[in-house]
Amino acid sequence: MFQEQLQVSDEVRISRTGRFVIAALLMPHRVLSTSTRNGGQQDQIRYLVNHQSCEPSNHQERHDYMVGMGLAAYHDVVCAELGLDPTAVALMGTAANMNNVAVVRKSYQKLAVTAVVTAGVESNATCAGDPAAWCETDQGWKKLPAYAGTINTMLLVNHSLTDGALARAVITMTEAKSAALNRLAVRSRQSQDPATGTGTDQYCVAAPLDDHKPLTSASTHVVLGELIGSAVREATCEALRWQNGLEPSRTRSLFYALRPYGIDEESVWKEIAPLLSDRNLELLKANKNAVFCDPLIASSAYALASVFDRFRYGTLPANATGAALCAQTATLAVQISGQPRLWPCFHAELAAAEPTHPVDLVAKAIGLGWSAKWQGEEKREASSL
């Protein structure tokens, strides 16, 4: 089977073949993993394998195939396909395409860390504490609503670690993954909170078993923690760029910022239609990307989302909701119109809006701003829309 080498060092050879990414450990390693078989902390693992086990959407046949035989038996099937000893493999599975894998190496003097990440978050991003998708009972697993998407991480350290440091590396790695999602403004699909991961994330962390004095910490206060955090954060962002098309500039959108509050294109077009003339509505739809991805409009949308969050978290008192949202949506209308002097007019008209209906409030702000953009300022002030 042809294998494309992605990275080779004295300790590990990382390669890709078809639906598989394989890290062959060239010397004994201590491995900590989520693998169904051989999971937990193990010293006999010689291969870390990540593979595409199904397509991202509507691949029920593959799901039934894996569940029908059981994940432990499926582990053996995958290893047989690769010609590997199943007792020496830590396995991860995902719907992500292995051609979208990101491999990032960070080093300081002789210490090096490599993160190998595949990622997808379009339908399975979650925040710790969100409603669950599965319940494990004495009779087995009970399926709740179906979600798809996974972040799988191989973390390879070229220096021996104490058991405590190996466990601490998992914390730092997880924090780095969440930091990447924060940079891309990824929100949970099960709640309105920022995403911290997905419900099916998996990992393999490996460090050599050799005669070197083991490092005792992978905390973010030490160089090893810095390398882990930097490598995993960068690799997660890169994997999401290729798998989901997510990159910072693409998240610059009013709808991306406000989606957790039910403000999406479909709902906004429905609410905004009665507020605009047919020609104005047609013009807005024809230029929606230029308008809703405008940097100033997007910045106002993110500010508005932050205000929604702060009220929901209890940072701000509920009795200030109306005034705060009115001020923020008036600013949004100003950014759309490009006429800052109209802020008092917009504020006055939005003051009567119902703050408990975010879609109505935002749609009205868009309507006010868009109506004013190509209308003379004197005419706008005289007619007050």
Burial class (CB in 10 A: 0-12, 13-18, 19+), 144: exposed
- Residue 94, helix vs strand vs coil: strand
Give strand ranges (E) for the chain: 4-8, 12-17, 20-25, 29-33, 40-42, 47-52, 89-94, 102-108, 111-119, 125-126, 134-137, 140-143, 151-157, 197-198, 202-208
- Is the Cβ–Cβ distance between 229 and 172 less than 8 Å? yes
Q: What's the confidence (pLDDT) of residue 146?
A: 46
pLDDT of residue 374: 84
Single out the residue of 27, 38, 66, 254 nearest to residue 156, CA to CA: 27
Please list the residues that pair with 282 across neighbouring strands.
none
Over residues 32-86, the pLDDT tens digits come to 999 999 999 999 999 999 999 988 777 888 878 887 888 889 999 999 999 999 9
Alpha carbon distance 59, 54 (integer Å): 6
pLDDT in tens, 201-250: 999 999 999 988 999 999 999 999 999 999 999 999 999 999 999 999 98
**Rounded-to-integer distance, Cα 22 and Cα 190, Å:** 32
CB 108 within 8 A of CB 251: no
User: Phi and psi dihedrals of 131, rounded to 5?
Assistant: -55, 140
Q: Tell which phi-psi region holds residue 367, choosing left (phi > 0), alpha (psi between -120 and 50) or beta.
A: alpha
Topology (CATH level 3) of domain 4-251: L-amino peptidase D-ALA esterase/amidase (3.60.70)
The pLDDT score that the predictor gives to residue 1 is: 64
Residue ranges of domains in the chain: 4-251, 254-383
Give the pair of three-digit tokens for residue 37: 């078989």
Residue 166 pLDDT: 98
Phi, psi of 212 (to 5 degrees): -70, 150
| C-alpha span between 20 and 109 (Å, rounded) | 31
> Low-confidence residues of the chain, pLDDT below 70?
1, 131-148, 353-356, 376-385
Can you read off the two tokens belonging to residue 292?
């809703």
* Beta-bridge mates of residue 141: 136
